[in-house]
Structures are given as C-alpha cells and as structure tokens.
Chains A and B, each alone.
Chain A
Amino acid sequence: MAAVQETVEQVRRVGADQYKYGFITDIESDLAPKGLSEEVIRFISAKKGEPEWMLEWRLEAYRRWLTMTEPKWARVDYPAIDYQDLYYYAAPKSTAGPKSLDEVDPELLRTYEKLGIPLHEREILAGVERPEGEERPRVAVDAVFDSVSVATTFKEELKKSGVIFCPISEALREHPELVRKYLGTVVPTSDNYFATLNSAVFSDGSFVYIPPGVRCPMELSTYFRINEKNTGQFERTLIIADKGSYVSYLEGCTAPKRDENQLHAAVVELVTLDDAEIKYSTVQNWYPGDENGKGGIYNFVTKRGDCRGANSKISWTQVETGSAITWKYPSCVLRGDNSRGEFYSIAISNGRQQVDSGTKMIHLGKGTTSRIISKGISAGRSSNAYRGLVSAHRKAEGARNFTNCDSLLIGDACSAHTIPYIEAKNPSCVFEHEATTSKISEDVLFYCMQRGLSQEDATALVVNGFVRDVLQQLPMEFAVEAQKLISVSLEGSVG
C-alpha cells in the first residue's frame, strides 16, 4: 500500500513539474463585475479611456454576438461555457495610469523574470547563449498581464525610426486615426462567434505600425500571461506594415495551473501594403490541463493577415504545445497581385489535449503564391487535427500553393486527422498537396536508445528531427527555446 501511495505521489510530482510556468502571481486585481452585459462593456471602455466611436463599435459587436451561436464543427469536445460566469476584465491594481518601467510593480517584474521575459532594456530574452563577441539581438517586449499591458520596452528607440509599438489601448488614445482606419478591416466584427465576442470585450494587445520603407530595427514581441482566476483574456493585436516595410514579431503565452478552464479568445489582424512583409511567430504554451483533462486554457483564436498590397508577404510560424482546446487557423488573404502567404506550424498534443488547427490561404490576386508546412504530433490520449483551406477566386490567375501536412503518432491512444479543403475557380492555378501520417518507429527509438538516450530523450530527438523544417523558420533566439519546449511537452508521452 505504501509503495502504491509513493508511486502515485511521484507521478503527481512529475506532472506538477512538467509545466514550469504554472505558478500564480499573488497580486491584487481590479475586476469588472462578473458576467457579460452592456454595462460591463461600458466599464471596460471607460477603464481604457476610449473614444466614443470605439464604445459604439464594441456595443454593436456585442448586440450581434447575442444573436450568434457557438461553432460546433471543429473536432473538439468540451462542456458548455457559461459566459456569465467569467470576468471580462482583470488588471493588477497597481497599474492604474501610464508609467515608466521603473514604476512597474516589482511583483510583476518578478513574474516576468521567472518566465524568462526581460522587461529591462539592457537584457535580452533568457535562455539564449551566443558566442562571445557576437552582438546580442535586441527584442522589444510588450507585456500583457490579464487584461492590461504592464510594460512596453524600447518604445523611445523605436520611435526614432517612426515605428509605433504600444498597447492597443494606448494606440486608441494616441493614434486613433490609424486604429480606426484598420481595426476590424481584416477580421470584421461579424466574422465568427469568438471574434465577435472579442470585438465586444477586448482588453489589451499590441499595436504596431511600421512606416513606409522602414525595416524595423529589432524583433518585436508580446508576452501574454493569464493570471487571475475565472478570467477570460481577450487580446487584440493589430499590425500594419506600410509600403515597403518589414517587421518580425513574436508572441508568447503562458498561464498558471488552475483546475478551472480559462477562456482565451484573441483576434490578430495583420495588414501589409505594397512590397511590405510581416513575419509573425507564435510560441503558444498556455497551461494544457492535467493528464486527466482537468483545467487548461480554451484557446479560440482568430488570426488573419491581409496582403493588401502588391508583392507583399505575410508569414505565420507557430509552435503550439499548450492549451486544453485549440481552435486556431492563422490565415492569409492574398489580395495584392503577386503577394505571398506562408504558414509553418508545429502542433503538439499530449495528455487529453484537443487541437483543431490549420490555415486558410485565400488567393484573390494574380500570381499569388502560398506555402503550408504543417507538422502535427499527437501523444497520450490527445486528438490533433489539421484543417486547412486553399482557395483561388476567378481572378487569381496563375495562383500557386504547395501544402505539406505530416502527422506523427506516439503511442496508440491518440489520434491525428487531416482535413484539407481545396477550391480552385481559376483553371490556371496549381495547387499541390502532400500528406503523411506515421507512427513513431519502435526500431528508430531502439536504435537511439542503444546509443544511450533514454526513451524520452530518444522520442524528443526523433520529434525534433520531424519538425526541423518548421523550427528553422523561427527567429534564432526562439528556436532554441521552442526546441526545449517540445521536449518538455512530450514528457510522459511514452511507455
């Protein structure tokens, strides 16, 4: 009996150690009244000091949302969400009013330190070592804690090149004309249930504007942290790359371990004008729930880029290891002639995680091209689906797409699904689709273990090999981190 108990406790400890970002920051929060109503939306808008048109925009979205029903077509299964049992706004009390980095609550600074996110400009992201003499790349960070941005670094330096990088609530106050011009033009308020909800209640997120001809002098990144209990995070990100500009942007996400599920419904809109390029990378590591499927984040996200100008380019790279439920399809609308969309994805599911993710490449302009590389890895009792759409409209003369979807299964209790849709309305377009599903080879694992690697290390090595094409797309500083994350996510997946 004692031995059994010991084993149980050991297993529990292992489980607890796996998700190393599961701590809770003890900080007093300012919350909106629980539930969703016009009053709550007015409360949020007032908290942010928004212009009147913004409030109207939110209310209109809210009224529309009331008429909509939650989508049920994805291969995910979860109990009904009680939208009246959530907080739609939570902010650390100490963040009232704008402040400089020195004034940020030390408890928050410690939180980000623990997460390896530097909020001091002389530091860089943790976990990256460079050869001596080589200059460390600088990364500007916008740190979003629950519903508010708590700090944004390198703002002044970015300003010198005309780059605007700030919380979207600040952009609404200081650059209302830019926000108004672009907000909701890629993902309209009526787009889908979760995007409409986001439009009504979104709190913080980042706003980026790169002026014509400017190559953003450093990586930009936003780090999202959900801390407060029973709180939904509804961030909104808007990135505009004006003519001939370039920016590389990365977002990271973590949340504490809580037994209750937490809702995250974000909207990300990207716009590239003529000859501009946005490279958008995500390392998503929301708390995935425990091995029995208790707790974890519901990640219902709408991400879309609009290649509005000719010869523009948008590239999505994502490493998805977290969340209990993932419902996410970063897409590109290839409107400008000769514009290009790319989607590189690694989606790992373990335990009881459910993933339904993929992309849409909508070819509207002439000579538009797109490329999709998706690597899905399922382990434990998880379900992992790739869902994608490649379409060409009548005017998309000479459109081209190449899609490659590979799935790897670890163990025999998980599943992988590939659901591609292809629609070509122009006879000149060429769409290629390749897909494979394979089980991790026992023989290869034996070979690696015979050389001294433990079963878990052998699995991680094989998986890292499997996803290499996609890892190479990540900015170098994050590829190392992502590689480690993949190993951690697969702990306990074998045996």
Chain B
Amino acid sequence: MTALLEIRDLKAEIAGKQILNGYDLTVKAGEVHAIMGPNGSGKSTLSYVLSGRPGYKITEGQALLAGADLSQMSVDERAAAGLFLAFQYPLEVPGVATMTFLRAALNAQRKKRGEEEMSSPDLIKRVKELAKILDMDMEMLRRPVNVGFSGGEKKRAETLQMMLLEPKLCILDETDSGLDIDALKVVSNGVNQLRSKDRGIVVITHYQRLLDYITPDVVHVQSAGRIVRTGGKELALELEETGYARYQSEAA
C-alpha cells in the first residue's frame, strides 16, 4: 500500500541556508504522528516545505503525498490534493467574512478536484455543526478572517477550517501554543473527530501536553533538520522527563 506521506532523504533550504538535512518520514493512512524537538530544529520548516511556502526550496530528496510529488505542485494544488496546514500563527484577512472565506476555499478545492460546489444552505448547515463541536459562536464567522480573534479563537477557527475541508493529511504546527487548557481540550476534541482510517495526522509540538489529548501512534524526535529518534507514545513522556538536551548534543 502506498504511504499517505512519504519523505525520503529530503534536503531543503531557505535563503541559501540548509534547514532540512536528509529527512525521512513515512505516515500511513489512519496514523497519528507527533514530531517533537527543541526550538530551532526545523519543525515549522518541515510544514512549510511540505505546503510549498514561497522561499522554501527542496534541494534534494522527495516528498510524496499519496504517491504524487509535492515539489511539482503549486500551493493550491497541494491543498486540493488533501494537504492541510493548521498554522501556528493564522493570518488575518481584513474585510473578508470568515464564512465567505470558508465557502471560497471549499469550493475552490472541490472545483480543482472536479467535484460539484457545495450549496450555501448545505455549507451553512455543516459549518453550524462544526461550530457547535468547537464551541464557537456563529457570530464569529461573520467577522473578517482572524481579525481581532484571540489566540484561542484563531486556533478554533483553524480547526473548523480543517474539519470542513476534510483533508487527507493534516499537519498541525504548534497548535497548542497560546491555548489555555479549556481551549486545548475543545481543539483536541475536534482533531480527534478527524481521526479516521483514511486520514493521516502530523502533530508538530514542543510540549508533551497536547499529546495528553491527541494520542499519537508514533512519536519522532527531530533535531538539526532530521529525525533522530522514533518510538511509541511513551517517548513523549520520556522527553517530558529528560528534555531535549541530549538530542541537541547528539546532533552537534
């Protein structure tokens, strides 16, 4: 069976500086992987390289999404192919109502996949269901995208987008940063509802805390731009005890 995400000996740079140094990672459908590591180890870089952020350049190796070479696809094509990145710092889009944004994004993806657009009544119904799960006020969805949202509201909005778009591969970049415990529970609950045998989830996090709520199948430790250790969920607990110091020295 083809892996959902297959990264082989990936090297990538930004502004001439190499950040990923021979990255290997395989995520199968149905799995939840956690990538942990010290600050500056290139965790966010991985998410940007995979999603195709301008300026992030693959120099060697390969990243395949369901067998398709990501480096040959534009940012929006990757999105339509099912790659979703929940941003650590979601961007504001002034003047564009969240509901308008959701409609535009969903229908753009559907159109690219040759599917029919979702009608407005169906969309509103679906968004209402999701907002309820995420304990969000519908009033928030009339406000411009992320403008004036609190940290928690932004992360809920990201999760709502992810649930609506139903991607094949979800990459959560430090979703727990800036969340209080109640918001963390709500957002985790949303993510857990997305767990399915057809979907892969990659949770990038510095702290073990989030993994109390989203239980990973596999935990990786990343350091200096590559994965240096892989284990089960107990690895996260071990890291909580020992910290990242030894991985930093190992890499150096």
Contacts and interface: CB of A to CB of B under 8 A. Distances in A.
Contacts of A452: 76, 79-80, 105-106, 108-109, 112, 165
B14 to A, nearest CB: 14
B232 interface: no
A447 B79 contact: no
A67 interface: no
Interface string A428-452: 0000000000000111101111111
A452 B105 CA distance: 5
Among B74, B85, B93, find the residue whose CB has the most chain A CB atoms closer than 10 A.
B93
A333 B181 CA distance: 59
Best-buried of A442, A452, A457, A464 by chain B (most CB within 10 Å): A452
A464 B95 contact: yes
Contacts of A457: 104, 108
Contacts of B144: 465
Contacts of A467: 95
Contacts of A455: 74, 76
B161 A451 contact: yes
A154 B144 CA distance: 40
A488 interface: no
B114 interface: no
Contacts of A86: none
Given A452-B80, A452-B105, A465-B96, A447 B161 contact: no
Interface string B83-109: 011010011111110001100111011
A12 interface: no
A476 interface: no
A468 interface: yes
A443 to B, nearest CB: 6
A31 interface: no
A377 to B, nearest CB: 13
A453 B93 contact: no
Contacts of A464: 95-96
A454 interface: yes
Nearest to B90: A447
Given A442-B54, A444-B91, A465-B144, A451 B96 contact: no
B75 A449 contact: yes
A461 interface: yes
Interface residues of B, number: 30
Contacts of B223: none
Interface string A462-484: 10111111000000000000000
A410 to B, nearest CB: 15
A192 to B, nearest CB: 35
A462 B93 contact: yes
Contacts of B126: none
Contacts of B159: none
A462 B85 CA distance: 20
The residue in A451, A454, A466 that gathers the most chain B C-beta atoms within 10 A of its C-beta is A451
Contacts of B93: 444, 447-448, 461-462, 465
Contacts, number: 77
Contacts of B104: 453, 457, 461
Given A444-B92, A464-B96, A465-B144, A450 B108 contact: no
A446 B56 CA distance: 12
Contacts of B51: 450
B77 to A, nearest CB: 9
Given A451-B105, A451-B165, A452-B165, A443 B91 contact: yes
A410 B200 CA distance: 36
B63 to A, nearest CB: 15
Nearest to A468: B95
A252 B94 CA distance: 28
Contacts of B80: 452
Contact of B105 (A446, A453, A466): A453
Interface string B166-177: 000000000000
Interface string B126-151: 00000000000000000010000000
B189 to A, nearest CB: 22
A461 B93 CA distance: 9
A451 B106 CA distance: 8
B91 A447 contact: yes
Contact of A446 (B54, B95, B96, B165): B54
Contact of A449 (B79, B96, B100, B101): B79
Contacts of B84: 450
B53 interface: yes
Nearest to B146: A447
Contacts of A468: 95-96
A308 B152 CA distance: 54
A449 B76 contact: yes
A467 B104 CA distance: 17
A446 B51 CA distance: 9
Interface centre among A457, A465, A466 (most CB of B within 10 A): A465
Nearest to A469: B95
A105 B112 CA distance: 43
B91 A453 contact: no
A450 B95 contact: no
A143 B75 CA distance: 45
A348 to B, nearest CB: 15
Interface string B148-160: 0000000000000
Interface in A164-193: none
Q: Which 10 A-B pairs have the closest CB atoms?
A: A465-B95, A452-B109, A451-B105, A465-B96, A468-B95, A447-B91, A449-B75, A452-B79, A452-B108, A449-B76
15 contacts: A441-B91, A448-B101, A449-B75, A449-B79, A451-B79, A452-B108, A452-B165, A454-B108, A457-B104, A461-B100, A461-B101, A461-B104, A462-B93, A466-B95, A469-B95
Given A447-B87, A449-B75, 18 more contacts: A444-B93, A446-B54, A447-B91, A447-B93, A450-B51, A450-B75, A450-B79, A451-B109, A452-B109, A453-B108, A457-B104, A457-B108, A461-B101, A464-B95, A465-B95, A465-B96, A466-B94, A469-B95
